[in-house]
Each structure stands twice: as structure tokens, then as C-alpha cells.
């Protein structure tokens, strides 16, 4: 595209939002036109991100910001309690949502897809924007075709609000597509401590670990006769997600409908 893509960032003062602001300001093909953040309203968006002032003042109302700034894309890394309504608001303004927050139900994703198609715009919901994590999911889905006994262990910091993580749920969904559904383990097993076996998805288990000092890690463990396979991905800092977010902003311009999962863009 010859013209810059106009980008708004919801949650611009948050930990992920600040990284998005930095990435947009550093890319000459993108233009930051709105920064929405309740606690940071009135401050310069560049300063919110720890950079020098960029001349754009953060505001606290999404609907007003989209109406006045008229962005092409809204990047949203806010929280599950508001992200659905934010996405609906963006679509109603004809703005393409690129969403990294989790908490959407399958029905909500269907509804958002319908709204995007009615508006003739594209959207993206990605539980994980890390290219390495997407490859981990794809490798796991392939492995499940041959080693259907599987468990997922995901580890995040102790302040993460949702469990299991959106990444682990997306991984489980991809695994289930190529794995015949069956309940693993001994049919007579008993949880002496409720929850010890983790959450169940299509007969296999997802375990969530929450500890301080941890950023993001996921391991998918497969078991077979006389062997095991472990596929693991580690994220060390939020900047690692930004190449994927950058790709999402640019590719969503050519889509119609809501895309669920960054793997569809790779």
C-alpha cells in the first residue's frame, strides 16, 4: 500500500499496548492516529510508551476516538471484560479490529465474523501473535495425528486473569481437529485433590501454572509406546509479539470477515 495504515491502539498505556505504540511509531508505513487509555488519558502517547513525545494525546473514550480519528485498524490488547464490546464498536465504525485479548466465546466470534462481513471489512482475533508459538501449535496439531495421547502445560505470571490461556485453548482446538476424541487415562482414576488432573478438553488435559517471575511458556507433551515427544515454546518479553502484530495490521487490510488465529495469516 502506498498510503500509511492509520492505527488506533486500545489500552495504549498497558504493558502490551505500550509495545504496540512503540512498534507503530517506528514503522514508516504505519501512522498512530489514536491512543485510548483510561488511566493515561491526557498524556502524550509516546511518553506513555516510554518514548519521546509524539504529539498525540491519549484519550479515554473509544467510540469518540474512532469517530474523530477515523483509523483503518484498531489494535486491542485490553481485558476480557471489555474486549468484545470494543471489537463491536470498532466494526460499527468500519475499523478493522486486530485483537490480542482473550475471552471470546465461539458464538461471539461467529457474531463478529457476521458483523465484519456486513461491514465488508476484515478482522483478526489471535490468542497469540508470537510466530514461534504459532509454529508450536502447528507442530502439535501434526504430532497429534500420530501420537493422540497428549497433555498441555501452560505457565504464566501470577497476575494473568484467565486460565487456561487463550494460547493453550487454541492449541487444544487445533489438536482436536486431527485427533479422534477419546478420554485418556485410566477409566477408574480418581482425583484425590479436585483439579489435580487439570481441565479436560476433548478427553485430554490442560494444566495452568501461575507463578511470579514467569512470563509465558507452553509445553505440549505426547506419549506413545516406549516414547514421548515434547514441543515447547518460551516467550521472554512482550516485544517478541510485535512482528506478528505488525503482520496482522497489514494483512487484515486485505481480508473480509473475522479471522480467528494468527496461523491463517502465515
| Cell 501454572 sits on residue | 209
User: Sign of the C-alpha dihedral, residues 27, 89, 68, 96?
Assistant: positive
Q: How far apart are the C-alpha atoms of 203 and 193, rounded to whole Å?
A: 19
Find the distance separating the first CA and the last CA of the chain, reported in whole Å.
Answer: 19
Instruction: Please report the sign of the dihedral spanned by the C-alpha atoms of residue 109, residue 239, residue 137, residue 156.
Output: negative
71 vs 9: CA distance, rounded Å: 10
Across the chain, which distance is largest between two alpha carbons, in Å? 64
Other C-beta atoms closer than 10 Å to the C-beta of 88 total: 15
Which residues are known to be catalytic?
156, 160
How far from 215 is each of 47, 197, 212, CA to CA, in Å? 24, 23, 8
Among residues 225, 182, 229, 230, the alpha carbon closest in space to that of 202 is found at 182
DSSP 57: B
Distance CA 263, CA 258 (A): 13
Distance separating alpha carbons of residues 96 and 144, to the nearest angstrom: 34
Amino acid at each position: 500500500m502506498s498510503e500509511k495504515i492509520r492505527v488506533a491502539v486500545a489500552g495504549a498505556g498497558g504493558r502490551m499496548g505500550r509495545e504496540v505504540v512503540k512498534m507503530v511509531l517506528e514503522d514508516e508505513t504505519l501512522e498512530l492516529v489514536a491512543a485510548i487509555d483510561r488511566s493515561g488519558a491526557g498524556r502524550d502517547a509516546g511518553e506513555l510508551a516510554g518514548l519521546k513525545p509524539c504529539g498525540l494525546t491519549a484519550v479515554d473514550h473509544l467510540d469518540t476516538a474512532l469517530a474523530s480519528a477515523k483509523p483503518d485498524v484498531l489494535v486491542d490488547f485490553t481485558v476480557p471484560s471489555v474486549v468484545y464490546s470494543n471489537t463491536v464498536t470498532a466494526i460499527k465504525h468500519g475499523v478493522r479490529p486486530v485483537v490480542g485479548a482473550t475471552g471470546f466465546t465461539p458464538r461471539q466470534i461467529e457474531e463478529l465474523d457476521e458483523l465484519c462481513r456486513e461491514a465488508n471489512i476484515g478482522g483478526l482475533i489471535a490468542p497469540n501473535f508470537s510466530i514461534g508459538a504459532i509454529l508450536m501449535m502447528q507442530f502439535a496439531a501434526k504430532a497429534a495425528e500420530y501420537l493422540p495421547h497428549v497433555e498441555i502445560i501452560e505457565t504464566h505470571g501470577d497476575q494473568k486473569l484467565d486460565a487456561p490461556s487463550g494460547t493453550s485453548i487454541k492449541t487444544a482446538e487445533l489438536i482436536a481437529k486431527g485427533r479422534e476424541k477419546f478420554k485418556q487415562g485410566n477409566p477408574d482414576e480418581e482425583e484425590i485433590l479436585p483439579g489435580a488432573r487439570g481441565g479436560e478438553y476433548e478427553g485430554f488435559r490442560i494444566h495452568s501454572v501461575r507463578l511470579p517471575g514467569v512470563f509465558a511458556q507452553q509445553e505440549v507433551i505426547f506419549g506413545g509406546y516406549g516414547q514421548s515427544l515434547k514441543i515447547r515454546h518460551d516467550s521472554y518479553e512482550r516485544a517478541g509479539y510485535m512482528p506478528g502484530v505488525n503482520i496482522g495490521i497489514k494483512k487484515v487490510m486485505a481480508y473480509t470477515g473475522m479471522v480467528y488465529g494468527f496461523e491463517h495469516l502465515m
